Amino acid sequence: MILYEGEVRARANWIEKLICGPEEFDALIDHGLFLRQRDQTWRLVFVGSFCLTNMAWICLPAGFIGQDVTMTVAIQRTFACLLTYIKRSAARDNAAESLAHVYGGISGSRPAREIELFFELIAWTDAFGIYTAHVERLSARGGQSVHWPKTLSKSHALHSRNATTYDPLATISSEKQLTSLSVEQSRVLLALYAKYSALLALMGVDFDEIERRAESIAFELQEVPSLSLSNLHDELSSTNFDHERDLISLLIGLKELGNLPASRSAALELFGTVSFELVWEDICRKICESISITPKLSNPYYLLDGLPAVASARQKPDVTIQANGAQILLDAKYYPRFPSSLPQLEDIRKQIFYALSWNEGTVGTTFIFPGEVTKHVGTVAMFAPGNGDEYADLDRRFPRVSCITLSWSEALLDYAMGTTTRSLPLLLDVLGVLPSKTVTH
């Protein structure tokens, strides 16, 4: 079932919509998935998935409202972006802080990592199938290659004027064989599918063939004991094949998460975030990484009784880039309903002060909103008190802040795919025609 971030309903209507009891809805409120509004309604602020009474709910970002994409594409891109965000955040020094708002991340239960590893295991299985070991056997006839040490020690040499032959030849036959690793892979796939089948179905992932093969192997070799972590580490140290090491590493990662559920009745738990604006900031940051520069901003510095003291908080724009001969300070703003909803004074004042604090060269400042297409839509400027026209009352001491929309669909696809080919060229084209009102130092 599909919900959209930002949906608002009365409490009774939410309980009816979710087909849940009051206590279950209260649990979602306790986790921060809903915020109370002034009129006592409740607004959904969650992006991701949750499960109530074995029913999976998918909460899509509000940015998809009105977008010309299929539901399957919207779900795939949403979850791909959440997983990408988790990976990128976990690699930062402040990983715990970055992921504090992500359910299933570092400060939650395990679904985020488990789903990530499950998708990687599905991808491995799509590429290589259920694992089989190549086993070489000695045979008297019909092999593909001769085993010369065995032949020389056991066969009779027949000498002639032109050659020496051996009879019989000891040959090597190669065949594929299921192993305990095959059984472990099959059991893990089935256990995770039992838990996340609703999510895979909504994302359009075809699991039928994998499920059929895994069930066959798990049934055929049901007497084979499960591999322990120690067994898996032994397997990892005994192989030199990259694809085998990748599989074993995935199984180790899943095993370390704890015991897997054994039936479809296991709850999906929570996977997602109540702060998708931080994901949008990282999307914009990732798209601009190749042209990002270190910001050169002045920062507060005390001189008290002749003793210096630096303020602990520093100015830190979301993204600073070098483009078209100028430095541009970008502030990623997650306002999916822009221009119906707009940043207010504090956000505007911060961008203007960033520009005034820049201490080298020419700098411009820009808001980036999600939109249908990438384009420049206008500016926000400071106006002096008065009732004159726009230009008469414009306070020219302060720079304007440009407003740009970045194609939502293309930005999410680039982020999920680890590319910038769709979004960055269009963004650079738009930045090249921004109004010339900047600050030069």
Across 159-180, average pLDDT: 71
pLDDT at 208 over 80: yes
Cα distance between residue 68 and residue 231, in whole Å: 49
| pTM, two decimal places | 0.66
Q: Quickly state the pLDDT bin for 206 (edges 50, 70, 90).
A: confident
- The ranges assigned to domains in the chain are 2-69, 110-131+182-256, 133-177, 276-440
Cβ-based neighbours of 44, under 8 Å, separated by 6 or more = 3, 4, 5, 6, 7, 8, 33, 34, 59
Return mean pLDDT, the chain. 81
Q: Is the pLDDT of residue 171 over 70?
A: no
Q: Indicate the range of 52-56, 134-138, 377-381 predicted with least confidence.
A: 134-138
**Choice between 104 and 321, residue whose per-residue pLDDT is larger:** 321
- Kindly report, residue by residue over 256-313, the tens digit of the pLDDT: 876 544 333 334 367 888 889 999 999 999 999 988 888 888 888 888 887 777 776 7
Residues in CB range of 53: below 8 A, 6 or more apart: 19, 20, 24
In this predicted structure, the answer to whether residue 334 has a pLDDT above a threshold of 90 is: yes
pLDDT at 264: 33
Angle between helices 71-90 and 276-287 (to 10 degrees): 80
Q: Residue 308, preceding bond cis, omega within 30 degrees?
A: no
Q: Would the pLDDT of 74 be above 80?
A: yes
Bridge partners (DSSP) of residue 55 are 52
| pLDDT tens profile 8-49 | 999 999 999 998 889 889 888 888 899 999 999 999 999 988
